[in-house]
A and B are shown apart, each in its own frame.
Chain A
Amino acid sequence: MKYFNRLHLSFIPLFFLTTCHSWNFYADPDDKGLSRFTSRGYNIATSYINGSPFRNIGLYYPLLQKDSTGNSIDTLKFTWPLYPNDLPNRSAAYDNISFLLPVPATFTKNDFLTFNGHRFANSIPVILRESSSKSISGIASLYFVSISENLASPDYRYLKLSGLFDGKIGDSVLITKGRFDFEVGENGLNF
C-alpha cells in the first residue's frame, strides 16, 4: 500500500506537466502536429522544421526585446523556446528560434503597433539555436497578421500578437507553416 501511494504521488507532477503542456494546443486538422492559426492569446507557436513539427514550451511568453547596438539601428529580438511535437523526434536538436528585426534606436511600443498587418517578406534574419548551443542563421519571412494592445486592465496591460513565418537556413534547414499567437505583458518590454 505504501509503495502504491508513493507510486501514485510520483505521477502527480507528471500529470500536471502533461496537462499544462497540452493546454492551449488545438490540433490543426490540415497540418499534423501543428496548432491552428489563431489570434486569441493562446501563447502557442508551432511550425515544421524540415518537416517535423515543433512548438513552444508550456505557456511561457516569448521574449520580445530590443537589443541596443550603440548605433542608430537596434535589433528587435523575438524569441521562443522550441520543443519537438512528435514522439519519434523527442530528441530533435533545436532549443529556440529568434527573429531579428532591424529597428531604429528610437523604436517604441507605438512603432511596434504599426507592424500590425505588415509582412516582412524574405528579409528577416532568423537564428536557430541547436541543443549543442551552436547557432545557425538564415533568412525568414515574418508576417504580423494582427497586433493589438489590451488596455482593459490598468494592472495588467498586454500586447496580443499573432502571425505567420517561414524561413530557410542554408540548404539544409527549412522552416515552414509557422504560426504564433502570443500575449506579451507590457511590463516586460524594454521599448
Chain B
Amino acid sequence: MKLLVTGIFILLIFFAPSINAQPFFAVSAGISKDLNNKKTFYAAPVTFRWKLFKHSGFFIEATNEIGFNRLTHADAYTANAQLPEHVVLTEKVRPSAFSMGIGGAIRLYTNKKNNQLTLNLSLGICDEYFAISYRNYDKVNYEVLNPDVAKDFSGVYAAIAGVYNFHKRKQDMFIMLRLQSPSSAGPGDRYVLSYDQTAPVQLTFGYNLFYKKL
C-alpha cells in the first residue's frame, strides 16, 4: 500500500500538468495555526518554492516556521521553610521548525485571465525544536512540578496545499493555504510533555518570480 501511494505520488510530481509553463521561484509569508495541540501554537511561516522545469509541476520547497511564544502556568514548590511553599510561574514554550521537501502541483482550474488554482502535494524532512523557559524561576530554591523540557523532533512530513495564482499590475502573486502533517519522529521517551509536534495550517501570501520567460 505504501509502495502504491509512493508510486502515485512520484507520477503526480513528474507528470502532472504544469501550472505555469515556465520555471519560477515563489516566496511567501503569512500566519499559521497548529492543529495538533490542545493548547495551540501560532507561527509566522516563510515559504520558498522552486519550480524547476517548464513542463512539469515538480517543485522543491522549504519552509521556516518562526513560532510565537505560548504562555501557560506552571507550579513550583520548595521544601525550604524560609520561603512560600508554592509559587505559580509563567511557562514559555517557543517552537521553531524548518522543513524541506519535493512535491508536485496539479492544475485544478484556470480562468480567462489565466489565474490558476492548483493543488500541491509534497513530502520531505522536517526538524522542529521547542525551547522552554520559566519566567522569574528561582532554580536554586524551587522545583517545577512535571516540568516541560526542550525537545527536538526530526522526521518525514507530508503536506497538501491549495494555491491560487493571480496577476495584478504585471505582478504574479499567489495565496496559499497549506496543511503540513506532524513529522514521523516518535516521542523518544515516555516522559509526558505539555506539547507535541505541530501540524500547522498556514495561510500565506507571496510572489511568483519567473526567471526564464518563454
A interface residues with partner B (beta carbon < 8 Å): 24, 26, 28-30, 36-40, 119, 121-122, 141-143, 145-146, 162-166, 177-179
Contact size range, B: 10 to 19
Q: A121-B81, A142-B79 provided; 15 other pairs, C-beta below 8 A?
A: A24-B190, A26-B149, A26-B191, A28-B147, A36-B191, A37-B77, A39-B146, A40-B146, A141-B79, A143-B77, A143-B79, A145-B145, A164-B78, A164-B79, A166-B79
**In the complex, are the beta carbons of A37 and B79 less than 8 A apart?**
no
- Residues facing A in B64-82 (CB within 8 A) are 77-81
Identify which of A40, A141, A177 contacts B143 (C-beta below 8 A): A177
Bound CA span A4–B117, Å: 64
B88 within 8 A of A: no
B16 interface residue per 8 A CB criterion: no
Report the nearest B residue to A165, measured CB to CB: B79
- Cβ B149 vs Cβ A119 within 8 A: no
- Interface CB pairs A-B, < 8 A, 16: A26-B149, A26-B189, A36-B146, A36-B149, A37-B144, A40-B146, A40-B192, A141-B79, A143-B78, A145-B77, A146-B145, A163-B79, A164-B78, A164-B79, A164-B143, A177-B143
Name which of A29, A30, A40 has the most chain B CB atoms within 10 A of its CB.
A30
CB of B14, distance to nearest CB on chain A (Å)? 46
A-B CB pair tally, cutoff 8 Å: 53
Q: Mark B136-151, 1 if CB is under 8 A from A, else 0.
A: 0001000111110110
Interface centre among A37, A40, A165, A179 (most CB of B within 10 A): A37
Residues of A contacting B190 in the complex (Cβ-Cβ under 8 angstroms):
24
Query: Is the Cβ of A119 less than 8 Å from the Cβ of B139?
Result: no
Which residues on B sit within 8 Å (CB–CB) of A29? Answer: 149-150
- A24 CA / B78 CA spacing, docked (Å): 22
In the docked arrangement, what's the CA distance between A146 and B143, Å? Answer: 14
State in angstroms the CA–CA spacing of A38 and B194 once bound together: 13
Do the beta carbons of A122 and B147 come within 8 Å of each other? no
- Rounded to whole Å, the gap between the CB of A69 and the closest CB of chain B is 26
Distance from A112 Cβ to chain B, minimum over Cβ atoms (Å): 19
